[in-house]
Amino acid sequence: MEKSAVLEMRGICKYFPGVRALENVDFTLREGEIHALMGENGAGKSTLIKVLTGVYPKDGGNIHLKGKESEVNIRSPQDAQNMGISTVYQEITLCPNLTVAENMYIGRTKSPLTNWKKINSDAEKLLQSLGIPAKAKQQLSSCSIAVQQMVAIARAVDMECKVLILDEPTSSLDEQEVEKLFKLMRDLREKGVGIIFVTHFLEQVYEVCDRITVLREGKLVGEYIIEDLPRVQLVSKMLGKEFDDMAEIKSESDTENIDYNGTPVYEATGLAGTTGIKPFDFSIHKGEVNGFTGLLGSGRSECVRAIFGADRVTGGIVKINGKKVNINKPLDAMKNGISYLPEDRKRDGIVGDLSVRDNIILALQVMKGFFRPFSRAQAEKFADEYIKLLNIKTASADTPIKSLSGGNQQKVILARWLLANPVYLILDEPTRGIDIGTKVEIQKLVLKLASEGKSVTFISSELDEMIRTCSRLVVMRDGKVVGELKGDDLNQNKIMATIAGGEGK
Amino acid sequence: MTTSGKTLKPNTSVKSALGRLASNQLFIPILALILLSLFVLIAKPSFFNIEFKNVDGNNILQGNLITVLDKASELAILAIGMTLVTSASGGQDISVGAMIAIAGSVVIRVVKGYAPDISGGQFAGMIITAFLLCVVVSALFGAFNGSLVAFFKIQPMVATLILFTAGRSIAQWINNNENITIKDNRFGYFGGFIPGVPIPTPIFITAICLGIMALVLKFTNLRLYSQSVGINASSSRLNGINPKMMKLLTFIILGVCVAVCGFIKVSRVSQIRYTTIGNAIEMDAILAVALGGNNLGGGKFNMTASVIGAYVIQFLTTALMSFKVPSTAIYAYKAVIVIVLVILSAPIVREKLNDLKKKLFSSQQTKVKEVS
């Protein structure tokens, strides 16, 4: 074992039915370092973390911890915690209705009696020493998500952890909150804690990490010191190919041929809903890719939900190819050739226990009707076709969709809506929480669909993604459409100015 | 991550077939049936005797197995509806026993108005009227339960508690609280025997119901829709399914199942006993669904497994009775065996069993490798 190492994993293997999730993976964490674990969805990051925290038993290899003579056997998450390995997950796993102090110490006192006074003062001290802006007696739900995240970290730290695992801790935080979290991480590094940082955000890796370990398809690609690995190379290592796809995308996008003077495929006037958006006008032409942009909560998702009839529509005129139609519920929209990939994949997209096949055929099946089910053979044909077309990684079409990785789940939902063969496809955050490879695939697909004459509305939190794919952007602020940008106006500065208001005018 | 099943090959087709069988949802209920039969076979071989007997000038089949098939009819039919309600709404209907009383009472109300010596044609007309009316009434009560669940988002168990409490009073009210016995012995055909047919009629009725449900599941999207509503209602809605209507529909289907049960029940005894008819049958129906290894929280379901679950329950009861267990003690015995079965068919236990099986197989696999 290396001298400064707090954790060494050697030759870790983990198999699932039909899949080698990890094969002979090495991982070393040194004292006082922040170590990024990178890879596409399905590369094996989560599996490695789960092996380390005792969620999955390993099928091979060994794990050494500092201060232990022989290899350790981690059988359960409790085991892991007792050995000083703590994990903070993407979703907060604390109890929002308890106080901060209670959350930090719950389930950890051994005696049946609890000295609340001592716990509160201990908690207060710890919060202060870590610079976390929360009071011990404050109810957790009254703290921001970032502070809740930090409380989770504080809880982990106080369990005298030597290894702290942060699994996508930043995905629900805004920039300032991320900054605070990073400060806390740096402080902990000073104190000698080894931190494993799992994230999809490249910028954050380069801002805070010391070392990077890259996994691909369950195998170790390599361990690198951050200075030695420029971004482009990191990306190409994660993807396993040279990375000029982004450039390719740009050259592919060709928006010259759109006939803006013709009848729009979809046109709404004064569309109003109940979800806090002001009535808005919107239209899209054949072969066009446009987008809604704005800050989180500006109403961009609510707008497309109104278009699809997902929320109650209270007014406005909708025309499809110049013909007036009524869209009051999703089925109306579907029958008029509109498809909608929802923002929240878990809540609104997948039907978790159903097979990949059922998930793919669902929308088309519903459009066909209750009394006309597809034959098994037909359903199989559809599923196999789209699994191949979108390169969906699944053990079989019978696998429940919930056991797929995030990116592949998203592809299944995409397959569902492509199968429905829409004229107008709405994609709300199709690239959120998925790896770069799949992101690029989806963006390419969007442009390909447009070139085939479909209209696409594409929403993404990442501006550069929008700029790359969209030929026109509708900008929103506080539930209102505040501008429309196209052509040369489609650049970061102009968009941000419009979102912010004031200077743009 | 590698994609295919090619990376880890199943070692032999026999073993994979075995594995598929063991991980199948039908495995536990069928295994339970086999084990129970084996036990009974050893303890009392005469249990399985079936013979022709002449009762009232009719040659009919008699034996414990026939009793099981006959007596389980109502439960099997209820299990169909209960499985669907469970799948779509993620809860159970506890009012089916009380609704059977209502359905039975409706049938009696219609039949009591006719003289016992009407012609065959008139009799058929009367039965059809009684049956259809009872189906309509039960479906309406099912729709009542379903609306509470679907539109008012009340938990199924709470929503159906209303009819659970009030149902038997409604049943009494339908017939002015009279105790009525139907004199026409043709009325008993549907719960007993049709002259010249040696097999109890409820078995045929059950077969027809199961057949209809099998066709419905094959030729409609009932399975896909109710499963996806039960798993993720929000997502189903965005795919064009109407989750509320789906939940309502399953409760209506259960209502129709209840109607058939009520009809059989009153025909069996040619009278209505408001307080005892279908007593506690709701719990057995829920148990049948659970024994079938279905998740009572909704979502995926296996209809065949539920139906087999119903027969397991009746087999158990009949077996215990044949061992002369006092009828009051039967529930205690039943409880013990049911606990074992329910634990065995719980998803978490099935998972563990699967893991165990995998380990066993893989160790065998390595041994084979070492030898070769």
Establish if A317 touches chain B: CB-CB under 8 angstroms.
no
Q: Which residues of B touch A (CB under 8 A)?
A: 1-5, 7-8, 218-222, 224-225, 227-228, 231-232, 234-242, 299-300
Establish if A362 touches chain B: CB-CB under 8 angstroms.
yes
Q: How far apart are CA B295 and CA A108, in angstroms?
A: 33
Q: Closest residue of B to A405, CA-based?
A: B1
Residues of B in contact with A15 (CB under 8 A): 8
Q: Are residues A206 and A328 in the same domain?
A: no
Q: Are residues A43 and A80 in the same domain?
A: yes
Q: Which of A203, A231, A246 is the last residue of a domain?
A: A246
Measure A185 CA to nearest chain B CA, in Å. Answer: 31
Mean pLDDT of chain B: 87
Contact between A204 and A170 under an 8 Å Cβ cutoff? The reply is yes
Residues of A in contact with B241 (CB under 8 A): 366
CATH of the domain at B200: 1.10.3470
Q: Are residues A227 and A329 in the same domain?
A: no
Q: Are residues A332 and A402 in the same domain?
A: no
Q: What's residue A338's pLDDT?
A: 95
On whether residue B8 sits in a domain, the answer given is no
For residue B120, pLDDT beyond 90 = no
Q: Which candidate in B6, B23, B239 is best for mutational testing of the A interface (most A CBs within 10 A)?
A: B239
Q: What's residue B238's pLDDT?
A: 94
Please give the residue range of the domain that contains residue A367.
348-421
Residues of B in contact with A218 (CB under 8 A): 1-2
Candidate from B8, B218, B219 with C-beta closest to A17: B8
Q: Please report which helix (H) or strand (E) contains residue A267, including its range.
A: strand A266-273
Q: What's residue A374's pLDDT?
A: 93
Report residues of chain A scoring pLDDT below 50.
243, 246-248, 251-253, 503-505
Contact between B235 and B303 under an 8 Å Cβ cutoff? The reply is no
For residue B4, pLDDT beyond 50 = no
Q: Which among B85, B13, B1, B217 is positioned nearest to A399, based on CA atoms?
A: B1
What is the CB-side half-sphere exposure of residue B345 using CA atoms within 13 A?
29
Q: What's residue A296's pLDDT?
A: 65
On whether residue A93 sits in a domain, the answer given is yes
What's the domain count of chain A? 3
On whether residue A103 sits in a domain, the answer given is yes
Q: Which of A215, A246, A277 is the last residue of a domain?
A: A246
User: How many interface pairs between A and B have CB atoms less than 8 angstroms apart?
Assistant: 105
Q: Closest residue of A to B234, CA-based?
A: A348
Q: Are residues A126 and A116 in the same domain?
A: yes
Task: Give B328-333's long-range contacts (Cβ < 8 A, gap of 24+).
Answer: none
For residues B347 and B3, the model is more confident at: B347
- Contact flag B1-A366 (C-beta cutoff 8 Å): no
Q: What are the pLDDT digits (tens) for B7-59?
A: 444 445 555 666 666 667 788 788 888 988 998 899 888 888 888 888 777 78
CATH of the domain at A487: 3.40.50.300
Q: What's residue A357's pLDDT?
A: 95
The percent of residues above 90 in pLDDT, for chain B, comes to: 56
Residues of A in contact with B226 (CB under 8 A): none
On whether residue B3 sits in a domain, the answer given is no
What's the domain count of chain B? 1
- Contact flag B3-A393 (C-beta cutoff 8 Å): yes
Lowest mean pLDDT among A81-95, A491-505, B222-236, B248-262: A491-505
On whether residue B5 sits in a domain, the answer given is no
Quote the strand ranges of A313-428, DSSP E.
Answer: 313-320, 323-325, 338-341, 424-428
Please give the residue range of the domain that contains residue B97.
13-371
- Contact flag A351-B4 (C-beta cutoff 8 Å): no
Q: Are residues A411 and A459 in the same domain?
A: no
Measure B231 CA to nearest chain A CA, in Å. Answer: 6
For residue B262, pLDDT beyond 70 = yes
- Contact flag B240-A353 (C-beta cutoff 8 Å): no
Establish if A310 touches chain B: CB-CB under 8 angstroms.
yes
Q: What's residue A251's pLDDT?
A: 44
Residues in chain B, overall count: 372
Q: What are the pLDDT digits (tens) for A219-243?
A: 899 999 988 888 777 877 877 765 4
Q: Which among B306, B334, B310 is positioned nearest to B320, based on CA atoms?
A: B334
User: What does the pLDDT average to over B227-238?
Assistant: 94
pTM of the model: 0.76
Q: Which candidate in A353, A393, A418, A435 is best for mutational testing of the B interface (most B CBs within 10 A)?
A: A353
Output the CA angle A137-A143-A146, nearest 5 degrees: 130
